[in-house]
Amino acid sequence: MQVRVAGGARVALESAVITHGLPYPHNHEAAQRMQHAVREAGATPCIVAILQGVACVGISDAELEALALQPAPSKIALHNLGIACGMQITGGTTVAATAYLAHKAGIEVMATGGIGGVHQDGRDVSGDLPTLARTPLLVVCSGAKAIVDLSATREWLQTHGVPIVGYQTDELPGFYTAQTGLRTDARVDDVDALVPLWRAHRELGTAILVVQPPPSEYAIPRAELDALLSQALTECAAAGVSGGAVTPWLLRRLAELSAGRTVQVNLALLEANARLAGQIATRLHQG
């Protein structure tokens, strides 16, 4: 593993959103906006990725551009991280792989859009969840991806000791929407209030999710999102898409059905989450 940014206030950034979450040039724009937001908050962004088999914590602008343009990148989670490194593969790291590598690099704060979760069929459980249950990391996100079963995901996290803290919200966001009807475990209204919570929790050895809804000017009403998602899920099943291909397929279809609105929400929440993570990392570094 190459840790290219050592010490100071650092924020790990997931790269699967670059390789699989958004199409070019939106993926490159998202990464740039996230990095800028972290820097504005006084911290250093560290995009985590696998480049020709090397686990990199922090990549250059040229490497970011190449990753965003990669024609057939691999999606690297924890189960295939060693394989990717051994076979000298290039790809984007999921929340699970990013969290694992960030923790090994001594980073305490990570930002992403949404974590994986328990899928609608109840059988497929994202590798993000068990990794969060055994990795002490503060993860800023907008809840779980909208395509998963949010209630079951919420229950899984609670059962396995991963608390959800709402930042200026009492409700677990649903990625594209602020409304889910699911309560957080606690609410804080400023960054300073998060510091003692994290310091008290990290000794338990699990992650803590700090969630905030997507910016209100971009968020999609819950009823409208539910209709879009229902159609996309039906079409996905009819097309026979399965396994790791489901998430990117659904994200692309939601973007089409919403005339690009989901992409704009995604960009906005990624930037907002990176900014909050940068503020938290800076405050933690100050002591």
Find the CATH number of the domain harbouring 191: 3.40.1790.10
User: Model confidence at 250, in pLDDT bands (50, 70, 90)?
Assistant: confident
- The per-residue pLDDT for range 47-101, each reduced to its tens digit, is 999 999 999 999 999 999 999 999 989 999 999 999 999 999 999 999 999 999 9
Q: Under a CB-based contact definition with an 8 Å cutoff, are residues 265 and 218 in contact?
A: yes
- The per-residue pLDDT for range 5-44, each reduced to its tens digit, is 888 999 999 999 999 989 999 999 999 999 999 999 999 9
Count Cβ atoms below 10 Å from residue 79 Cβ, excluding itself: 11
Q: What single letter denotes the amino acid at residue 223?
A: A
Tell me what pLDDT residue 247 has: 78
Cα gap 90→87, rounded to integer Å: 9
For residue 273 the two structure tokens come to: 């989450």
DSSP assignment letter at 17:
I
Catalytic positions are 14, 145
User: Model confidence at 119, in pLDDT bands (50, 70, 90)?
Assistant: confident
| Mean of pLDDT values over 97-120 | 96
Cα gap 53→55, rounded to integer Å: 7
Q: Under a CB-based contact definition with an 8 Å cutoff, are residues 35 and 85 in contact?
A: no
The domain of 87 spans: 2-286
User: Model confidence at 172, in pLDDT bands (50, 70, 90)?
Assistant: very high
Domain count, the chain: 1
